[in-house]
Structure 1
Amino acid sequence: MWLAFLDIKGAYDNVVQEDLWGILDTLGVEDGVTNLLKDIYKSNKVVIKWEKQVSKPTEVKRGLRQGCPLSPLLFMMYLQGLEAKLEGSGLGFNLSFVKQGKLIEQALPALMYADDILLMADNKEDLQRLVDKCGNEGDRLDFRFSRKNLQS
């Protein structure tokens, strides 16, 4: 088994909120829930304090709230496109199990939680293909990955 541990750099900070609302709609999240989330994120402003000076308030249109219990869930929904591409690739660690008396074989390409991704494959070449898929989707979402470790 080959593994790659990936971390998305500055993951929560790089979520484009307008894109997130569209993804929630695509996933079938009720409008009332999405509107509530929009209200939570609406009119977020930051100021920069340095020495004795304070900047003018600037509206924040990017990022998820650090420490908010909803942020990991929202981020996982934001990454659903990456998850779908990995699942649809047919690549991954081959997992066999018996269900209702039948042998089922399934490729398991990744385990994901928030900004941490564990890619799994039966060989180095397939693992590289999974890493490449993450890189391509990361480019689309303007994310950068750091590879934590690679093992066999």
Structure 2
Amino acid sequence: MCRRMERIMQDLVSPNQATFIKGRSIAEHSLLAYEMVRGFSRPGGEKACVKLDLRKAYDIVNQDFLCHLMSVMGFADHWVALIKECITSPTFSVLIQGIPYGYFQSNRGLRQGDPLSPYLFTLVMEYFTCLMDLTVHRGRLVPLFRRMVPSVTHLIYADDLLVFIQPTTMGLQTLAGIMEDLKSFSGLQLNRDKSRVYFGSRCSQKEERADVLGIARSDLPVRYLGVPLTVNYARDQDCQGLVEYVQRRVEGWQAAGLSFGRCIELIRSVISAVAHFCLQSILLPVATIRRVERICADFLWRGVCMRSRGSSSAVLGRREVWGSGRYWRSVRPLRSSCPGDSLAGGLSGRTGCTADT
């Protein structure tokens, strides 16, 4: 069933979603979000970015709504019945003082870990896209426009939603109504404590407009899919989250008592991969790269992994240690080329948000 769903998801789900869709890239989404936010300090009218967080998204999906939605999308009745049997037949028990008691069936939610759940949740989120497209078509929501960037009203990655609109009173009220409709039909609820709205520099009465949505206002930059979204080029302080992430990972590795070779492999496969992902969307500051390099060097030579003799700079500079294009030392030459290459790859794709530009 999962393989069959995978083959048709690309045709059913709009380009605004990149989750669990073959041929779509999370890097393209983060790059597009970064380019949209970069225009917030430029002329061209008022702009707003709304980051919406859903509360316990998988656990509160309305199962009857999901089955009805699949029927509307054109799934055969037999297939819908099979899906309904898969999501309603499991039973659960409750541990009381370590002892399981009773078995009961659930009337809502999708099971975490079920290979079908990601595809089904993606279909549920497609309802939000339908509501957004309908209101834009009726003129109640006005999307943002940027040169060389496709018109995008929203981006969805799993339960992370990013909405780009002109913050008129009618537009904000319409967005609030969309979230209420989403809650009424699908069961998905907005987590107002974690949701934020970000206004451009040319917006006035920001607090009053945020009250229309019922969520708090905040200032840029904001992290989306691990990438800081800023109105200008990213600064070192904007990338503090990346440095803190690397520091946390390294601290966990230090307690494991790993060999020198395993430490090298972890730096190559984890730290370098994270840095390369960020470079696909933004231009990392040189200062940030140097800070991460310093953490990696300290991890190798001052922690529990100190096994060899010689200076750290000598080993870090060896081609056989860092490789060509796979280790942290090779990230610096890619610093200026990755964002452009990622954009070119997105524009040449067939299934992403930028496929038709």
Q: TM-score range by the shorter chain?
A: 0.7 to 0.9
Do 1:4 and 1:120's aligned partners in 2 also have CA atoms closer than 8 Å? yes
The alignment partner of 1:69 has SS state of coil
Unaligned residue ranges in structure 2 (runs of 5+): 1-46, 200-357
Matched, 1:143 2:182: no
Per the alignment, residue 155 of structure 2 pairs with: 111
AA in 2 matched with 1:114: A
Distance 1:16 1:44, change over 3 A: same
For 1:53 and 1:73, locate their aligned partners in 2 and report how far apart those are by CA, in whole Å.
34
Greater strand fraction, Structure 1 or Structure 2? 1
Identity of aligned pairs, percent? 23
Q: Which moved more, 1:27-36 or 1:53-62?
A: 27-36
- Please, what is the CA RMSD of the aligned residues? 2.6
For 1:139 and 1:16, locate their aligned partners in 2 and report how far apart those are by CA, in whole Å.
9
AA in 1 matched with 2:122: M
Greater helix fraction, Structure 1 or Structure 2? 2
Task: Indicate which of 53, 57, 64 corresponds to 2:103.
Answer: 57
Q: Which moved more, 1:9-18 or 1:70-79?
A: 70-79
Per the alignment, residue 21 of structure 1 pairs with: 67
Give the TM-score normalised by the residue count of structure 2: 0.36
For 2:175 and 2:74, locate their aligned partners in 1 and report how far apart those are by CA, in whole Å.
29
For 2:98 and 2:154, locate their aligned partners in 1 and report how far apart those are by CA, in whole Å.
48
Give the TM-score normalised by the residue count of structure 1: 0.78
The alignment partner of 1:47 has SS state of strand
Per the alignment, residue 94 of structure 1 pairs with: 144
Distance 1:7 1:51, change over 3 A: same
For 1:85 and 1:19, locate their aligned partners in 2 and report how far apart those are by CA, in whole Å.
15
Per the alignment, residue 87 of structure 2 pairs with: 41
Larger C-alpha radius of gyration, 1 or 2? 2
The alignment partner of 1:33 has SS state of helix
Per the alignment, residue 131 of structure 1 pairs with: 175
For 1:110 and 1:38, locate their aligned partners in 2 and report how far apart those are by CA, in whole Å.
29
> How many Å apart are 1:89 and its aligned residue?
1.1
Do 1:6 and 1:118's aligned partners in 2 also have CA atoms closer than 8 Å? yes
AA in 2 matched with 1:22: H
The alignment partner of 1:5 has SS state of strand
For 2:115 and 2:99, locate their aligned partners in 1 and report how far apart those are by CA, in whole Å.
33
Q: Which has the higher contact order (CA 8 A, sep 6+)?
A: 1
AA in 1 matched with 2:154: A
Unaligned residue ranges in structure 1 (runs of 5+): 99-105
Distance 1:119 1:87, change over 3 A: same
